[in-house]
Amino acid sequence: MRLSVITSNPGKVLEYQRAFDKFGIETVHVKMPYDEIQSSDLEEVVRQGLAGLRAAGMSDFIIDDSGLFINCLGGFPGVWSAYVQKTIGNQGVLKLMGGVKDRSAEFRCCIGGCIGGMDIIVTGICAGVILEKERGAEGFGYDPIFSHDGGRSFAEIPVDEKNEISHRGSAIKLFVKELSHLL
């Protein structure tokens, strides 16, 4: 089976390739813009993206949307995580959380796929906390300030370990399980 991974992020494609290789699924990186609706719900964004890409004639593809949801900030930055990362970055998020005791947060990743005309939509979650300061040199985005175990940041653990426990890693496992029911 061959799936198009529709994204502008080559890092995501590598993560999908590593995960899907074990299942004999070939991935192809496709940079194709599609409308992303403004919604606070990851699944709604993905559903609309799937519909738009299907209407454009695409088949056998996956897309995803993900975000960091911080409890004390009412779920912010959530679906706006990429924009917030570009504008205020990790230091801005840490500043917003200055003096806050509840540092609980979770990464969520919603993967949507259209396989043989059938939709699969799953969401993976990785719960953790926002650290007091940036730590580590691996990863990208919020990785230096997020810890799944209250100790190491995502930027301090090997990428293969991170991919096993991350929100996207969890979503990929769920996606493959659902995909196996269609094959």
Which band of pLDDT confidence, cut at 50, 70 and 90, is reported for residue 183?
A: low
Taken in order of first residue, the domains within the chain and their CATH numbers are 2-182 (3.90.950.10)
40, 73 Cβ separation under 8 angstroms: no
pLDDT more than 90, % of the chain: 72
Given 41, 65, 149, 160, the catalytic residue: 65
Strands 118-130 and 146-147: antiparallel
Which band of pLDDT confidence, cut at 50, 70 and 90, is reported for residue 151?
A: very high
What mean pLDDT is predicted for residues 20-45?
87
107 closest CA partner among 145, 135, 138: 145
pLDDT more than 70, % of the chain: 99
65 catalytically annotated = yes
Computed over every residue of the chain, the mean pLDDT equals 92
Long-range contacts of 12-17 (CB under 8 A, 24+ apart): 12/64, 12/168, 15/163, 15/168, 15/169, 15/172, 16/62, 16/172
Check residue 25 and give its pLDDT.
Answer: 86
pLDDT tens, residue by residue, 77-118: 999 999 999 999 999 999 999 999 999 999 999 999 999 889
Check residue 181 and give its pLDDT.
Answer: 80
